[in-house]
Amino acid sequence: MANTYTQIHIHFVFAVKNRTGIIQYRWRNDLYKYITGIVQNNHHKMLIVNGVEDHVHLLVGVRPAQSISDLMQDVKGGSSKWINDNQLVPGRFEWQEGYGAFSYSKSQLPAVIGYIQKQEAHHQKKTFREEYLELLEEFEVEHDEKYLFKELV
């Protein structure tokens, strides 16, 4: 769209179904490259992607031509298919339903990038659940904890 100028930076967070730690280090970077390709093919700008064995963080410069929910559907659906097509996990891989999306101003980007870069060290001290709840509270997102995480039954 001519004469449309935006600066929208979204930090996305999403987890493996049942928060099982099955994203293995040996193929994690290939997953991140694949997710980056999905983001770029949708004409957004990937600023950083990182995570650990049970969840992923993305910081994306989002273009307003695509909704956030459509982008996440493409990212999660496409990356699940890639993992399953390449048989990287036993059984069927799925992401947990839903995601977190948090907006940041340009001046905050260096701190967010640093935070995402240090996920491995960060999660030696804090669980994903603790991290996610802190993000929701920091951004004052109303939530009910019993609906946030599906546990193994």
Q: How far apart are CA 53 and CA 142, in angstroms?
A: 27
The 10 Å Cβ neighbour count of residue 128 is 21
pTM, rounded to two decimals: 0.92
Q: How far apart are CA 57 and CA 74, in angstroms?
A: 15
In tens, the pLDDT along 96-117 reads 999 999 999 999 999 999 999 9
Sign, Cα dihedral of 35, 126, 61, 113:
negative
Q: How confident is the model at residue 149 (pLDDT cuts 50, 70, 90)?
A: low
Q: How confident is the model at residue 18 (pLDDT cuts 50, 70, 90)?
A: confident
- What is the dotted CATH code of the domain comprising 9-106+118-147? 3.30.70.1290
- E strands within 17-54? 45-52
